[in-house]
Structure 1
Amino acid sequence: MIETAPITTVMRALADPTRRAVFERIVSADEITVAELTRGSGVTQGAISQHLKSLKQAGLVAERPEGRNVYYRAEPEGLAPLFDWMSHYGVFWRNRFADLRTLLKEIDP
């Protein structure tokens, strides 16, 4: 069965549009700093840091400190609860559509 705590944390983390945009920028970069994420985002560095905290708690982002900088990278395994949840419902909907297809064939000879 699907674990509710991880999926809830991941969904909450990705529900916010700004946080999703931060995550997408991290995904598109090998590694990126807070300063780089802040630049051109229209969001303060403090807000970016808060978004990063939520993404880290959800397991979507990892950090690597180096000197005065902290580098962030995406953690693909963090999306596993979301993938599992969607796979579960994918099976559900495929079965329903197959049933509907059968019913429509019976109605329309």
Structure 2
Amino acid sequence: MELPAYQTNLSSESSAILQRIGKTDKTAVKDCIDTYGNLVWALARKYTDSLEEAEAATQEIFLDIWRYAGRCDSTKFDEVTFIFLIARRRLIIRLQ
């Protein structure tokens, strides 16, 4: 299965977004959505049947990212991998 093309706005500052969210930085969530929104949206569209479901899934995924950001171990995963895994888990739950 091929995923839709997406672009992220990755920069050197984005490498610590999850750490910033974990420390309750108020601008970090916006930065996370700006940086990874296209990836999350592409995954949600691929694995849902409608725009409404994709929108709901995207919201759930970003809530999960907010909840679990402090658990990201940068020695095991980079941010994009961690976000992909959270998105994948949420989408699998929705499919069940």
**Smaller-chain TM-score range?**
0.3 to 0.5
**TM-score normalized by structure 2?**
0.33
**TM-score normalized by structure 1?**
0.30
Between 1 and 2, higher relative CO (CA 8 Å, sep ≥ 6) is seen in 2
